[in-house]
Amino acid sequence: MAGIGFDLRRLCVEEQGIFGRFRAYATAGLVAAGPWLVTMASLWLVRLVGGWFELEGVDRFLALASLVFAASLVTTGGLQMAATRWLADTLYRGSYGALVPAFANLFVVVGVVQALTGGAGCLLLGLELELVLPVTLLYVAVSLSWLAFVWLSLIRQHDKILFTFAIGGAVFLAVLFVLGRAATLPALLWAYALSNCFVVAVLAVLVLRGTEAPDEGATAQLRGLLRHRLLWWVGTAYAVSLWADKFVFWWSDGVVNVDGVPSHPLYDTCFYLAYASVVPAMALNLIHIETDFYERYRGFYGAVEGHSTLADIRARGEELRRSLERAAGVLLRSQGAVTFVCFWFAPQLAELAGLPPFAAHTLRLALLGAFCHVLLLLTILVLLYFDRRRAALRTTALFLIANVFLALASVAAGPSTYGLGYAVAGLGALVWGVFELRATLDRIDYVTFAQQ
């Protein structure tokens, strides 16, 4: 992602005027969160179009889609983290011919495993047989898309990736309009599953065409995925923590459909809006923060590998620390301003989303929680840059545990506290993560040599 960030930073320098810079930052926002935004927009339009045509089964469709996305992230979160590390190690060794075989092998394995587990999960939920196949197909397609994203960070064809997702969403909506009032729940699921299969197929082609030809000795190197057990735990814990409060609200205070699939439309909608509000932070991280930090990061470890003097290494470590402090200041000011504006206009945003007036309070708490959450995410990523896996795991586990118990407390306390548990859990984990990161930076020279 730092490589993409350098391309976008050059675009910011080359573009002149306020509109040019806006275009550059908008591109960064789409790169950082474009596929997620397109997906959420398509689901929101399903609700809107369903209201126009008075379609039956729209709520069940949205509940199933949310459950599929949650399950796919939880089951592949650890694999994504370990695969990212394996990919980095492979590139460092210069084994470029290993990229295609590894992707192909994982693609097949993940597809088969997710097909079996997805079908079993559908049967355990008691879904009708006509829904099992499209839901399982959607689950497999979404899971494979997360895997493809790991390899797509290499080829930097973000425009083609976004265009692919846009086409997939447009095809799905076109089918929805063609079906009109005749759209049934199975038809909606088949249309959405097949549009996601189209997206995954194009992403796989982009990966295969954007990497070098394979070599014969690449397959065995995939065993390295199993060596990164802590990264598996970090990735899985983070994916579960992302959905933990939603799980609690779905099963404790949500609406359970006839097939046993729960949902909480008010809580879910508030948090989808809140997550959209932190896109500016992701764009800033991609253009300025990660690139500036990465340059200092490479300078520090380059000095270590180049056998520089201790004074030079410590000076570069100080530059690295100051770079992160500047990045934190930029994020707090920029994202803080966006969150404040959304917080102020929360009643209007809730009304636009079709929520009742009292949902503005939940939306405001969700906005504060998302603000802390995106800062927490970036803190965990920086900890992993320094290979502080246990510190990242402690921080993620704290967020997970706090999110579960505080969500349960929010449900027990009533609607006036919906979202408060998530915000407090995010803030507490963020403070802990900052202390972990500060302790690392204060003794970065010792940590670097002690880990060798």
Check pLDDT > 90 for residue 149. Answer: no
Mean pLDDT, the chain, rounded, equals 80
* DSSP strand pairing (262-263 vs 255-256): antiparallel
Say how many C-beta atoms besides its own lie within 10 A of residue 407's C-beta: 26
Q: How far apart are CA 356 and CA 418, in angstroms?
A: 14
Half-sphere exposure of 245 (CA within 13 A, CB side): 27
Residue 445: name the closest of 299, 296, 301 by CA. 301
Q: Among 62-76, 160-174, 287-301, 324-338, whose mean pLDDT is lowest? A: 287-301
Q: How far apart are CA 245 and CA 370, in angstroms?
A: 13
In the block, residue with structure tokens 């990212």: 84
pLDDT band at 151 (very low <50, low <70, confident <90, very high): confident
Alpha-carbon distances, residue 211 vs 125, 156, 234, 300, 323 (angstroms)? 40, 11, 28, 30, 33
Type of residue found at 413: A
Mean pLDDT over 203-211 rounds to 81
Cα 328 to the center of its chain, rounded Å? 20
Check pLDDT > 50 for residue 220. Answer: no
Q: How far apart are CA 391 and CA 57, in angstroms?
A: 45
The helix-helix angle for 359-385 and 389-413 (nearest 10°) equals: 170
Check pLDDT > 60 for residue 423. Answer: yes
Which residue would you say has higher pLDDT here, 348 or 261? 348
In the block, residue with structure tokens 């997620």: 36
Residue 332: CB partners within 8 Å, gap ≥ 6?
none
Per residue in 13-60, pLDDT tens?
A: 555 555 555 556 556 555 666 556 666 666 666 766 666 556 667 778
Q: Structural domain boundaries of the chain?
A: 2-227, 275-450
Give me the residues paired with residue 263 across strands: 255
pTM for the model stands at: 0.85
Check pLDDT > 90 for residue 365. Answer: yes
Q: How far apart are CA 82 and CA 371, in angstroms?
A: 27
First and final C-alpha spacing in the chain: 26
Check pLDDT > 90 for residue 242. Answer: no
Check pLDDT > 50 for residue 1. Answer: no
* Whether 30 contacts 276, CB under 8 Å: no
SS3 of the chain: the string is: CHHHHHHHHHHHHHCCHHHHHHHHHHHHHHHHHHHHHHHHHHHHHHHHHHHHHCCCCHHHHHHHHHHHHHHHHHHHHHHHHHHHHHHHHHHHHCCHHHHHHHHHHHHHHHHHHHHHHHHHHHHHHCCCHHHHHHHHHHHHHHHHHHHHHHHHHHHCCHHHHHHHHHHHHHHHHHHHHHHHHHCCHHHHHHHHHHHHHHHHHHHHHHHHHHCCCCCHHHHHHHHHHHHCHHHHHHHHHHHHHHHHHHHHHHHHHCEECCCCCEECHHHHHHHHHHHHHCHHHHHHHHHHHHHHHHHHHHHHHHHHHCCCCHHHHHHHHHHHHHHHHHHHHHHHHHHHHHHHHHHHCHHHHHHHCCCCCCHHHHHHHHHHHHHHHHHHHHHHHHHHHCCCHHHHHHHHHHHHHHHHHHHHHHHHHCHHHCCHHHHHHHHHHHHHHHHHHHHHHHCHHHHHHHCC
Greatest C-alpha distance within the chain:
74
Paired tokens of 389: 């896996």
In the block, residue with structure tokens 């729960």: 262
pLDDT at 134: 92
Paired tokens of 293: 């930090």
pLDDT at 215: 57
Q: Among 67-81, 104-118, 143-157, 237-251, whose mean pLDDT is lowest? A: 143-157
Which residue would you say has higher pLDDT here, 32 or 124? 124
